[in-house]
Amino acid sequence: MPINSTARTDTGCKTTGGDDRRVTLDDVGHGFQADDMLYRHISLALLPCHVYALTGPSGSGKSTLLSIIAGWQTPTEGHVERHGIHRVGWVFQNPHGTACRTVLDHIALPFIAQGNTRSQADEQARDLLKAFGLSQRGRSLFRDLSGGEAQRLMLARGVASRAELLLVDEPTAQLDLNTSQTVNTYLDNVSLSGAIVVVATHDSGTRDACTDVIDLKDYQ
């Protein structure tokens, strides 16, 4: 079953890991028993600069498939290969930050860990904050952010970590409609660093903000 895909309109995506970076799923299936499978026969290639919406009803195994894609769980059937993937990031549906640390610090610290000076890290962090609509919140403490701002900050930090594979679990599940729409507007920016991004969601707005759709109903 092919992935439903929409054409990208941006040209800002940058790949740094070579053209062979990909995640391939070969006839993957998973379930608790052989006669009680959540899904089966998933054969896909996930590529950089795409944001894949992983959809399906509650209980269909979206979060489990994220773990399988990451290599943290072994599928019941088939196998997954990760090519050129050295760092895997995960953005949870409930944003977790340090209450008394500033927004800028949350983004700058991954850059410092990569060997940048503080001034270099701050400069790169400000660029990311702008990309995620948080330029005016750089000096704010994490505890003072709204739910939507905190979720966008976590997405931006995922980009800052330079993960080649970034998994996002229900980014709008705890947000109201207007806040969810704001997060969805910036979702495509997550892939601009060249990451492969997979977003588990039941939100039609989040699905439509992604470049490709993987519907688990097609694999039952």
CATH dotted code for 13-219: 3.40.50.300
Summarised one tens digit per residue, pLDDT across range 5-49 is 544 444 456 655 455 889 999 999 999 876 789 999 999 999 998
User: For the chain, what are the domain ranges?
Assistant: 13-219
Summarised one tens digit per residue, pLDDT across range 33-42 is 767 899 999 9
Question: Parallel, antiparallel, or unpaired for β 88-91 and 165-169?
Answer: parallel
CB pairs under 8 A, 24+ apart, for 147-152? Answer: 147/95, 147/174, 147/175, 147/176, 147/179, 148/175, 148/179, 148/180, 148/182, 148/183, 150/95, 150/97, 151/91, 151/95, 151/175, 151/183, 152/182, 152/183, 152/186
